Structure 1
């Protein structure tokens, strides 16, 4: 474990040092036919900063990593589980090195590093703090009880985020169904709690929080996303209920015949305070609160204060956690270790893919195709495979640019969310719903997905492979649901 964390630290620090070293050199004299114009708006003035970007073939390492994530556990399991940290880091270093030393583009690697640190600080803090809370539900595992627990998880996801809700409730959900647990229980948990559930507040899911930081009002998501959220969860609840109704208990380890008390007990309640600290620190953003310390680069402010708080809180919550709660949860660091390494690879290699998407979306050809319908399917299709937070920002940037507005202008974002640019409210709703909902399409669509899968496998639940997840669950269940959501709320515009 210590070696794993050391490798992550070395990779992060090396990237930052190399990127900083290049950033202070004179890269403007380098001639290239491929340049990306990034606009920084300060006090109403636009300043153009040129950054070289990668060619289309540079997405190959990202595709290779996705294919290995998909096929590794299925066809070469031993090699994959032994080597995935080296593979993920090697591919990330390959792309980052190409950006820094080949393209002399430090902008993208620095942003990717900052986003990764923010990502892993939040996930690790919530994972560790929630691991010290043991919730025991002394009820019979009926389909109705399961549906109620999933809905509660979907509501809680808007208070402590999809990651917090997932880490807090996945273990009691598994314990409740210990004699009848199947892969579909975990899949529907990922659908309803780890993704779709967090659609109502900026705390719920990272894309919505980025929108809030840019100027989307805090309660906008509750107002506009509530009916689609309720619609989608209701359909998934009904589907789950009928699937679960036909599930038979497995008493191969002996039948539990004791009488249920119907009570819910919690061990390690003090860890709720640690969770509150982590969730509260999310709002310490230097781009919103001027007095928060920050690293200034390229006209932007990068947070480090809240990340230090999250890492420190996670450490303290573990050291001071109730040992019975940790033992009852079978807590260990393997799930977060796996996520940390896999997402080093994803954040490091997906930079070219995000650039290609962003450049096309903001081009004349791309802007001409922008409607609330294309925004829904475009944002959704990419959010299942790329990080949904930058995908959200890319499509919102393009949508606003097509209306002559800038995402870097706080007042214009407020006006856009209020319907000041045609059907801008519907477009913003399409981007928001798609970014959150489609994160459930794959194991890598949203951070909690992979951790929930890993926790389930730790206790012996046989989970489907990457493609198995998509073919057996996402395509037959989620795609028809998303078509319905699109047809009702964006084609018919019933709201």
Structure 2
């Protein structure tokens, strides 16, 4: 349970009421697509940027402190550089499939997607693989296939690197070492992916046996795969390589906002877009709509969460202590709010209780070493539980939209939860938590 600190508890803290724009924006992201979809589709940029400007005005004209805004701008550009470049580059790779898939082939496909998500991000992997996934299961595809694709490729799979999922990249920007998550979370990742794959294999085998016998007999005898746009693997390598530049180079910025890695990522994205043949983009139905939406929403998120993070860093905002409590608390909010700000909020709260600041890379590095179980719990909770609903993570709704366009029956918002995430995903994540989070 979140308990807001008093505004008088620390002279430098903003008033508790300044978290209202942050809470309101997250509620809009969660609820507007369900209850006011037409309004939200046309006006979400105004809402997100408008709420962000409320917070910006407070710091500029009341606090007269531009440092938090400058810091937020730097992190926003770095965040969008990674997400945007991976989205553009993956949109230039087209996978075509002929033939259908057995349960074993499907399971291996999901496993490959879980690994790939750590290289091109959950958004990139989802956009790259969802269309071949639908194609290879075209004669028997159901909501089961769409939901498990979201579980494994759009969420749980991306828990091993900062590239994998936005929450982890925010941690990397704050000072968590790049390989820290892989070193500390790979066992939980392996267990979660293995359990989900096992459940999927059993359920897909039942689905397969219900298919007409003549179709099963023709199964994968003529299955073939075609790949186009493989030049984009070079641009992908450029993006990943920029993350490993020497620290002195990474900290070099233009105007104090545009880091060298961010500029390289933007350049790689532009090169990918202009060197990819139009027919490849057309085959992928590529457009900038999804990344445009992420861009506008995160302008608001990065600005409005400044006061929330400062209050959480006071150490009095969250009355939870154990790693398992952080795992389930982070997860509960990540399932219904965007998991990136949820991760950063709980990281700030956990560090605040140790009198450390999430704005200091040295403090974050110290926390990652001395309080590794807490950071593991927050990282896993944010990434894994993002699959709890369509609104838990950005790729979820994108996958559903593509499935709907392909006339695949994807479950409704409520059906997704009561048929799949609550009876299947939640028990798996409870098991993973009890075993792995200490």
TM interval, shorter chain, is 0.7 to 0.9
CA distance, structure 1, for counterparts of residue 123 and residue 418 of structure 2: 24
Question: Does the 8 Å contact 1:195/1:437 carry over to 2?
Answer: yes
When normalised by structure 1's length, the TM-score is 0.73
Q: Does 1:271 align with 2:232?
A: yes
CA distance, structure 2, for counterparts of residue 62 and residue 183 of structure 1: 33
Question: Does the 8 Å contact 2:251/2:259 carry over to 1?
Answer: no
The change in CA–CA distance for 1:405 and 1:127 in structure 2 (over 3 A counts) is: closer
How far did 1:152 drift?
0.4
Given the alignment, which residue of 121, 127, 143 partners 2:87?
A: 127
> The residue matched to 1:264 in structure 2 has which SS?
strand
The change in CA–CA distance for 1:60 and 1:178 in structure 2 (over 3 A counts) is: farther
Q: Does 1:482 align with 2:437?
A: no
Given the alignment, which residue of 378, 383, 387 partners 2:329?
A: 378
How far did 1:239 drift?
2.5
Q: RMSD in angstroms over aligned alpha carbons? A: 3.8
Match of 2:215 in 1: none
CA distance, structure 2, for counterparts of residue 483 and residue 61 of structure 1: 32
Question: Does the 8 Å contact 1:36/1:53 carry over to 2?
Answer: no
Question: Does the 8 Å contact 1:51/1:107 carry over to 2?
Answer: no
The change in CA–CA distance for 1:436 and 1:72 in structure 2 (over 3 A counts) is: closer
Q: Aligned ranges for residues 295-306 of structure 1 at < 5 Å?
A: 302-306=257-261
How far did 1:153 drift?
0.7
CA distance, structure 1, for counterparts of residue 292 and residue 137 of structure 2: 26
When normalised by structure 2's length, the TM-score is 0.81
Q: Aligned ranges for residues 69-148 of structure 1 at < 5 Å?
A: 69-148=29-108
CA distance, structure 2, for counterparts of residue 85 and residue 239 of structure 1: 39
Structure 1's unaligned 5+ residue stretches are 1-32, 38-49, 252-256
CA distance, structure 1, for counterparts of residue 118 and residue 325 of structure 2: 27
> The residue matched to 1:289 in structure 2 has which SS?
helix
Question: Does the 8 Å contact 2:75/2:173 carry over to 1?
Answer: no
CA distance, structure 2, for counterparts of residue 415 and residue 55 of structure 1: 28
Question: Does the 8 Å contact 2:77/2:257 carry over to 1?
Answer: no
Alpha-carbon displacement from aligned partner over 1:28-53 (angstroms, at most 9, x marks no partner): xxxxx94897xxxxxxxxxxxx8552
Q: Does 1:452 align with 2:396?
A: no
Given the alignment, which residue of 274, 298, 307 partners 1:343?
A: 298
Match of 2:385 in 1: 438
Question: Does the 8 Å contact 2:110/2:153 carry over to 1?
Answer: yes
Question: Does the 8 Å contact 1:339/1:451 carry over to 2?
Answer: no
Question: Does the 8 Å contact 1:162/1:204 carry over to 2?
Answer: yes
> The residue matched to 1:279 in structure 2 has which SS?
helix
> The residue matched to 2:382 in structure 1 has which SS?
helix
Alpha-carbon displacement from aligned partner over 1:208-230 (angstroms, at most 9, x marks no partner): 44555666555443333222111
Q: How many residue pairs end up in the alignment? A: 429
Structure 2's unaligned 5+ residue stretches are 1-5, 213-217
How far did 1:270 drift?
0.5
CA distance, structure 2, for counterparts of residue 135 and residue 70 of structure 1: 32
Higher helix share: 2
Question: Does the 8 Å contact 1:54/1:99 carry over to 2?
Answer: no
Question: Does the 8 Å contact 1:131/1:167 carry over to 2?
Answer: yes
Match of 1:199 in 2: 159
The change in CA–CA distance for 1:306 and 1:74 in structure 2 (over 3 A counts) is: same
Q: Aligned ranges for residues 13-24 of structure 1 at < 5 Å?
A: none
